[in-house]
Structure 1
Amino acid sequence: MTDAEDGADRIQEPRLWRDSGWTARVIKNEDDDGWAVAMTPDGQAEPALVGPWTMGRDKKNPKPLDVPAFNTLVKTAAEFVRRHEQQLHALLHQQIDIAHAGGRIGVSLDIEPDDENPSALLRAHDAAGELLAEVRVAPSFKLSRASASAWAEAGFSAEAVRRA
């Protein structure tokens, strides 16, 4: 049994909880007199989500964390991270279908983000999924029906894509 399984890493304090792969830390809100809660996934240095936190009955101190609140925070933060990952995936992996030569062609743009050398691949597949063409393009290439159609009309030429 690992430490995580036996609860050795679990912390349940009024302003700090760690469990289920997440840490919730109640912090002073720098923007006003209120409080905020920062949700950080295990292994990450920065919080994935920071949101407002409820004041306690004395209207000065934060309400202490408890099981239901922590579970709700974990669910909310995990959903936020999931949506962010989906948006990033949609931005980096685009796909459209166009009509070409009497059939349907799938055109995809796959961007590989890299701080020093980002790149992207533009690919065309026929209706059976066979690769028709593949060219390296700038990561800033804008995939649209017009750009995909122009590429197809130019015979999937790498030069045609560079001019687009």
Structure 2
Amino acid sequence: MTDTPSDQASDAKDSQEAIRSDRLWRDDTWTARVVKNEDDEGWAVEMYKSGEAEPALVGPWTMGRDKKNPKPLDTAAFTVLIKTASEVLRRHEQQRHAALHKRFTVSTATAEISVALEIVPDEDDPYALLSAHDAFGEELAQLRVAPNFVLNRASAAAWVADDFRKPAERA
């Protein structure tokens, strides 16, 4: 039985050995695989981080001189692909963090209060923690709210003004 290119790529992703071939490069963290682009007549490159089933980056790949086959991978290209894929993952992580963690500062007549919402995306029971802290970091209040609770300047100010009572749930 002959391995298909996807079997070979899977094997390459699972092994710890470095691979340097025209269409497959691997180090201890990343695997680059040049594949036929299903959307057109060209080629694409997929970048996989070790241990991940889905590629972190998929992009077009340059044709070789014969205009039929892909340009071979090389050290410079692999280095650029690693940098680009790492940046994509970093941006995704920043977006996820921003979606799960929100913070606003509310000024009252006597103090500045930091109001935070931390969403816990549990598969069975997602929820969020709404908390308030004074300028010294002392917790003034904390309560559990629905994960779809909308924290903005107005809702933060309203919660502080209402002496940290549980906000009404939205339907």
TM-score normalised to structure 2 length: 0.87
Q: How does 1:89-128 map to 2 (within 5 A)?
A: 89-128=97-136
5+ residue gaps in structure 1?
1-7
Partner of 1:162: 169
Partner of 1:13: 21
Partner of 2:47: 39
Shift of 1:20: 4.3
Cα distance in 2 between the residues matched to 1:137 and 1:31:
45
Pair 163,12 (structure 1): closer, same or farther in 2 beyond 3 Å: closer
Shift of 1:23: 0.3
Q: Secondary structure at the match of 1:37?
A: strand
Cα distance in 2 between the residues matched to 1:115 and 1:125:
28
Q: Is the 8 A contact 2:31 2:47 kept in 1?
A: yes
Q: Is the 8 A contact 1:151 1:161 kept in 2?
A: no
Partner of 1:87: 95
The root-mean-square deviation of aligned C-alpha atoms, in Å, is 1.6
Shift of 1:88: 0.6
Q: Which amino acid counterpart does residue 79 of structure 1 have in structure 2?
A: E
Partner of 1:142: 150
Partner of 1:72: 80
Cα distance in 2 between the residues matched to 1:163 and 1:26:
49
Give identity over the alignment, percent. 61
Cα distance in 2 between the residues matched to 1:48 and 1:34:
20
Q: Which amino acid counterpart does residue 39 of structure 1 have in structure 2?
A: M
Shift of 1:161: 4.5
Cα distance in 2 between the residues matched to 1:89 and 1:163:
23
Deviation per residue, 1:69-103 (Å, 9 max, x gap)? 00110011011101110111111011110112421
Cα distance in 2 between the residues matched to 1:84 and 1:163:
28
Q: Secondary structure at the match of 1:58?
A: coil
Cα distance in 2 between the residues matched to 1:125 and 1:96:
11
Pair 72,103 (structure 1): closer, same or farther in 2 beyond 3 Å: same
